[in-house]
Amino acid sequence: MDKDSLLKLLTLQEKEERVLKLLREKEKILEEINTFEKNLEDVNSKINDINKQKESIEHQIENFIKSIENYEQMLNKISKSLKTAKNKELYKNILREKSKTENAIINTRNLLKQAYTQLNNLEHSKEMKELMSRQKFILEELNNLKEDLENMEISISKAQKDLEEYRASLDKSLVDFYEDVKNRVIPVFVPIDKKACSYCGTILPLDFYNRLIQNNIYTFMCPNCQRIIYKHFDIIK
């Protein structure tokens, strides 16, 4: 193969490798997004659980407040009826009723206080704080990753367009030759490494090596892996 053809095909290979590299990077970003989305689901469901507990306590609080109001109305009525009690027996009964209602108010107020404490503890719990900061972190990471993904997609389509345009600019026979070798081995071109094929390590026959070094030939097919070996320091700066 002449130097010019070699250079053209090496450039084609580089452009193809660039597209593949970008596609692999895109895959990595997608995997990361997937992992973060799973983590987010997990965090959200834990936050949801805590919120459900909060709602249930808030519901209890509402009920306690209503109960206290009811008890207070009852107490009001009882106090009034105490004044109009017709006999001692009735008076004593009403008094007992009054004391029961007062106790109920005290008990319910205690329960209300406990519920407020529980609610406060839940809202300010270490777990909730950790979950909220974890959620914030994940959302930020996801935003960054989605931005990376968009940029990556732009880079990929640019690189693909560049590759296709370059391929179209080459002689069809040259591209066909490259594709033909590529059907058997990838990558098609590998640089020489000392006196061996840098892909499989096979030592080149001495006369071919000398001819490569002396630029009598530019390429040589590796007898073992069938890749095309070239003297890269002569071709690529």
Rounded Cα distance between 228 and 231, Å, is: 10
Task: Give least dist CB 218 to Zn ion, A.
Answer: 17
Rounded Cα distance between 52 and 109, Å, is: 23
Q: Which is nearer to Zn ion, 65 or 185 (CB)?
A: 185
Q: Using the structure block, give the residue that is written with the tokens 């499989």.
A: 200
Task: Give least dist CB 221 to Zn ion, A.
Answer: 9
Task: Give least dist CB 217 to Zn ion, A.
Answer: 16
Q: Which is nearer to Zn ion, 107 or 226 (CB)?
A: 226
Q: Which conformational region is residue 215 in: left (phi greater than 0), alpha (psi within -120 to 50 degrees), or beta? A: left
Task: Give least dist CB 28 to Zn ion, A.
Answer: 29
Interface contacts to Zn ion, rule CB under 5 A = 197, 199-200, 202, 222, 224-225
Q: Which is nearer to Zn ion, 71 or 199 (CB)?
A: 199
Q: Which is nearer to Zn ion, 94 or 231 (CB)?
A: 231
Q: Using the structure block, give the residue that is written with the tokens 């990077």.
A: 25
Rounded Cα distance between 48 and 31, Å, is: 26
Q: 145 near 40, Cβ under 8 Å?
A: no
